[in-house]
Amino acid sequence: MALTSPALTLSTETLFGHITPALDLIEALGPTDFSDEKPSLEVKPGATIKVPLSTVSAASAFNASTNNYLTGGNTDWASLTAAHYLQGFDVTGVNIDQGVNAARMKQLFAKRAGVGIAMAAKSAIITALDGTTASTGVKIAAVGTVTLAGYDGLATAATWFDLTEACLVVNGTEYANIKNLMHAAHLSATPENMAAELGFKKVICLAGMTARACIVPYSSIGFLARVPAIAAKYAEAGTETDEKSGLSVGIVVAEDQATNKVVVNADLWFGVAAVSANAGATTPGIIKVGTAS
């Protein structure tokens, strides 16, 4: 069933506008699979889905004795169970295309659903990063004693990741500390200058992260989103897709006649899978930077 309500179709651009900041973050960190068309899979509660996470290193030279090339690495398919995310807005009245209800649909539903999805995506990233292995080989001193040079050393702490594609993700305390150190050195502390100074593609602040800092080589974290299979009967249901990112979001409209409300929900399954470096940070993956002892 396709969406027919003008209020809903007009809300699409606003909806994705509120999700865009999270999508920009995701795009910097790792590969995505947001296609609504492939693979052909009905996503239902409890579905386990696989997303590719690459740990491929440079290929070895041709081995004449075995007539074989060795890649020196592998590409894993990491399993994840996609989390069901549902966010919407109850609109009083039976017609969502007349008067104030159309404005509510565009301003309130689109904002609430879009911001909610963005927050859920960031929360999933934080959980994935916090769940990686704490490094015993890559360390920085405690906040208050660590210097700017200490942060500078993170970019060269391991030789197996590409600096031009790796991000440094820090919590709020760490971000403020880096910013203060840059100001003390009379350096501009814009996000762009911070990344250039420390040698990463981006420095990203995730305020709710427990870990102090994570070095995230590109493709060591992957993102998957799917619109759930529709199992119930709705007054209206359809899928809207963001042209830039390819992210599809299901939108369903239900009628609550007892309270004279139309309930509109954005419906999405979103999952994150991460590859962690070992404690010594000698294998490819996310390095959760430890505190020096």
Where are the chain's structural domains?
Answer: 6-57+75-129+221-273, 133-218+277-291
Q: What local confidence, expressed as pLDDT, does residue 202 receive?
A: 96
Express each pLDDT in 5-14 by its tens digit. Answer: 777 777 888 8
* Domain pair 6-57+75-129+221-273 / 133-218+277-291, same fold: no
CA proximity to 138, closest of 76, 216, 192: 216
pLDDT surpasses 50 at 162: yes
Q: What local confidence, expressed as pLDDT, does residue 77 receive?
A: 54
Here the tokens at position 241 are 């897709």
Please give the model's pTM, rounded to 2 decimal places: 0.81
CA proximity to 215, closest of 153, 173, 273, 270: 153
CA distance readout (Å), 23 to 29, 41, 83: 10, 23, 17
pLDDT tier at 57 (50, 70, 90 boundaries)? very low
Strand 261-274 to strand 202-205: parallel, antiparallel, or no bridges (unpaired)? unpaired
45-54, 166-175, 198-207, 217-226: least confidently modelled range? 45-54
Average pLDDT, the chain: 80
Express each pLDDT in 258-280 by its tens digit. Answer: 766 677 788 887 878 888 889 99
Domain 133-218+277-291 class in CATH: alpha beta
**6-57+75-129+221-273: what fold?**
Major capsid protein gp5 fold (3.30.2400)
Q: What local confidence, expressed as pLDDT, does residue 104 receive?
A: 66
Q: What local confidence, expressed as pLDDT, does residue 272 receive?
A: 84
* Separation CA 131–CA 224 (nearest Å): 18
Taken as a whole, the chain contains a residue count of 293
